[in-house]
Structure formats: C-alpha cells, structure tokens
Amino acid sequence: MAVEKLLKDEATEEKGERARMASFVGAMAIADLVKTTLGPKGMDKILQSTGRGHSVTVTNDGATILKSLHIDNPAAKVLVDISKVQDDEVGDGTTSVVVLAGELLREAEKLVNAKIHPMTIISGYRMAAECAKNALLEKVVDNKLDAEKFKADLMKIAMTTLSSKILSQDKEHFAKLAVDAVMRLKGSTNLEAIQIIKKPGGSLKDSFLDEGFILDKKIGVGQPKRIENAKILVANTAMDTDKVKIYGARVRVDSMAKVAEIEVAEKEKMREKVQKIINHGINCFVNRQLIYNFPEELFADAGVLAIEHADFDGIERLALVTGGEIASTFDNPESVKLGHCKLIEEIMIGEDKLIHFSGVEMGQACTIVLRGASPHMLDEAERSLHDALCVLSQTVNDSRVLLGGGWPEMVMAKAVDELARKTPGKRSHAIEAFSRALVAIPTTIADNAGLDSAELIAQLRAEHHKEGSTAGIDVISGSVGDMSELGISEAFKVKQAVLLSATEAAEMILRVDEIITCAPRRREDRM
C-alpha cells in the first residue's frame, strides 16, 4: 500500500463490487430471517434480551422482530426501517415488505453479475412497480356504498390479518371484536379511543369488547361504589400538602404547641383546596398523583368518588373519552371543562377490580379486554389485534379491497411479465426480475406451509392466465383454491404500501457503490 492513507485509523471503505456484495448479503439475510413468519402457517420467533431480567418476547410480527435486533449491516438497517414505517403507516404487511425488498435485491444481484448497470435495473423496477400498481387498481373491489357488504369485507380482512397470528384459532371472535371497535370510530383513524386492557387468566376466548372506558384502578375505601350521571374532574395535582413543601425552609418554633399550629394551618390549606375542587359541582375526582388520607376522607364526606394514581395513559384517555380536560388549578371553576358519563361502577375481571365508566361523551370509545394464559400470550395477542385494528381503520377510510393468499402478487406478476415482453432493451430483464420477486411471496407462503411450492406456483400461474381468475394458495387444503369463496381479503392500501416501500428500499440499496465506516472521534484529540 504505497498510496497515502486517506482515511484515519480504524476507518474502512469498501468499494464497488465488495460494497454491493455486502449490502445485498445483509439485506437478503434479514429477509430470510423474517421469511418464515409469513402467511397463515408462518412460525413465531422468540426474542430474548441479554439485558437484565432476560425478558422474552414471542412474536410473529415482522416489525417487532426487526425492531428488537441490533444490526451492524447498513443495508439491513434500511430494511428494518421500511418495516417500521409500514407498521406505523398501515399496521400490517410488515413481513411482506421485507421479503419483497429482499427478493428484489436477490434478483438484482443476478442482473448485476450479468453486467447490467444498477441504474438500468432501477429504471426497470420503477416501470414494473408502476405497472403492478395499475394492475391492482383495475382489480380492486369497493363496497363502500353497501353497508352490509362492506362490513362483510371488513370481517374478511380482519380474519385474514389475524390468520397469520397467534389469534388464528379464535379468529372469528377477534375479527368481530376488531370490526365492532373500528366501526364505532366512524372513520377516524385515531386508535387512542380504543383501549386494550390485558388481564392474565381465562382463555383467549374470554376476551370481550366493552363500550365505555375501563380504568385499571380500585375504588378507595369508604367511597361511593356506584355513581349515576357522573361529572368528572380529571386533574394532575398534588393532594398531599400536609407537610411544608417549601424546600430548604426552616421554621423555628419555641414550643411543641407551635408545631401543632403549623400542622393545623396546613390542614386548613388542604381543606380549602378540596373545597375548591368540590365547588366545581362534581361527584368524581380522578387524580394522577396520590391523594392523602385526609383529603380522601373529605371527598368521601362530600360523596365524591376520588381515584388516585391513575396512570398517565389512563388519564389522557379518560379525559379524551369523557370530553373533559386535565386541570391543575381550581380557582375559576367556570373555565374547567368537566367530563361526563352516565354511570361509574366497579366491575370484576378475573381477580381484579376495575372501574367502569359507561355511557361516555365520545360514542366512539370502547375498551377491549384481552384474557389469556400468560403475559407473553397477551402481549402477542395485543400486537396482533393492534395490526388488525390499524388495517381496518385504514380500510374504513380507503375502502378498496383485494383478495389475499398470494392472489394480488400473481395478478401483479402477470401484468409485469407482459410489460417485460413489450419493453425493448436491457430494462426488460429488470422488469422480468421484478415479476419473479413478486412471485416469491406466494412461494414463501406455500413453503412455510410445507407444500410443494414449485408445483403450486406453476398451477397458480396457469390459473391466472384465464381472465378474471380468483385463484390463490389455499394453505389449509394445500392446493390452489378460490380466494373469493374462502373469503380471504386484504386491504388495497396495505398492498400498495408494501409494493412501493419495497421497491424504494431496494432501489436505495442498489444505488450504493461504496460503504465507508468511520471510527468515532477519540476524546484525546481535543486536548
């Protein structure tokens, strides 16, 4: 190495072929990692952290798996990010997007080795993605106008989303929960109004949807257990002023009697505050901080239900749902918005007592209570349900629906293949490769179910050459089935997001020709 060193110690650069090699290999490794979780027969992964407590997560959600990995390879990080974005944007399809991007890169690698320039490949992929999207647009079904059919579509979508998750055994039950919850939102995608409470015990079948709001707290001692037509003040304030709270204050007294006077004065102060709160004309007071026995006693005397230490999530949600605002000063009662609900009572779920607010202002609010054998099971159930809720709330807004089970990929692949035949020049190779990458998704679904994927995909392709075919992979019977009869549907929005994100990610990784790794700056250099 007679060449002058350009980069400092500990920094490395990889150029051209080697850089591309590294990024392809990394991206494909990540794709292969989550590949096995795809489809109704996909397997789960156990993620165990090496930190304190060795917490264990069992999951099948692509984004959750990838989020938990610490990855060194830069290209792999790009894939992790697209799955995160997919999770935030539409909630489902997190695995598909990574698998598709990985396959696009795998195909691209072959093309690069065949001396086709990456830019040519990218422009081919661009054309192919556009063509695939249009092919889907021609085939979408939109039942927005017919409420019954639309609800049936939502049920199918929910069941399809859940069938690759842990809830697949009771998917009808959970699909119904999810559809009911989302229908109550009346088209807003704000999932905060749907609260999910996890209570170990019972089985997954015991989960239910409750209109209204459930706060995971007990009602204090000596307080009314049931309030009708409640007016609720939601507050975040300290209710423990029976100590001098001025830090570093020194009060010198010359006798014990004086100490008692100070204590009395403090009690008075507290009593005034409680009185101010009661003057709002409320009969339920929910505080985020703790309430001492003395004020609690005062509230009980006034017949006000005081709930302390409600966690922050609970409070914000409660305020949102009952239509109140969180207050912290009580001097002018007219400016504080109170929350309202018809009935507050205590209910039992399993062993625990909870407070149930029913008949709340915001009609769209509801609570889903999940029951299950173990905390891991509940966590995974919550993730799966969250995926379903996201997809449904997106579908309510954009009601275009497609069939599932590898059908959309085959439709796209067919259209893209036709485009490849019409396109002159080297780009046609890239377009053909795109269609092969699309077929990888149904192939993976079949492989995960232990079926002969080559045979099935060939049959599927033949089926799709007939006009208006609805064929897809029926994993249960292990053959090519009719997706519209089986009721396997997916949201158009999810598929579109998968297609576009995967193409863009693959494009980004393809553009790389050099990876420079720098060492962090040393502290001593600054002296």
Other CB atoms within 10 A of residue 271 CB: 13
Other CB atoms within 10 A of residue 151 CB: 14
Work out the burial of residue 12: count CB atoms within 10 Å of its CB; fewer than 13 is exposed, 13-18 middle, 19 or more buried.
exposed
| Amino acid (one-letter) located at 321 | V
Other CB atoms within 10 A of residue 481 CB: 19
Sign of the CA dihedral running 112, 114, 119, 122: negative
Work out the burial of residue 325: count CB atoms within 10 Å of its CB; fewer than 13 is exposed, 13-18 middle, 19 or more buried.
middle
Sign of the CA dihedral running 254, 257, 263, 269: negative
Active-site residue among 92, 170, 379, 387?
Answer: 387
d(CA 448, CA 442): 10
3-state helix, strand, coil in the chain (%, to 5): 50, 20, 30
d(CA 15, CA 352): 61
Q: 61 an active-site residue? A: yes
d(CA 295, CA 275): 10
Active-site residue among 36, 37, 95, 367?
Answer: 95
Q: 36 an active-site residue? A: no
**Which H or E run contains 256?**
helix 256-278
Contacts of 207 (CB under 8 A, 6+ apart): 173, 174, 177, 368, 369, 370, 371, 372, 381
Tell me the chain's radius of gyration from C-alpha atoms. Answer: 30
Q: 72 an active-site residue? A: no
φ, ψ at 66 (rounded to 5°) = -70, -35
Tokens of 311: 């966690």
Active-site residue among 57, 94, 395, 423?
Answer: 94
Distances (CA, A) of 217 to 307, 345, 347, 384, 433: 8, 11, 10, 26, 57
Give the pairing of strands 489-491 and 400-403.
antiparallel
Count of positions (residues) in the chain: 527
Q: What is the per-residue burial (b if ≥16 Cβ within 10 Å, else e) of 81-104?
A: ebbbbbbeebbbbbbbbbbbbbbb
Put the strands of the sheet holding 194-200 in their side by side order. 194-200, 366-372, 208-211
* CB distance 140 to 400 below 8 Å: yes
d(CA 290, CA 307): 9
Identify the residue whose tokens are 């590898």: 406
Tokens of 522: 């040393």
Active-site residue among 57, 61, 64, 444?
Answer: 61
Q: Which residues carry out catalysis? A: 61, 94-95, 387
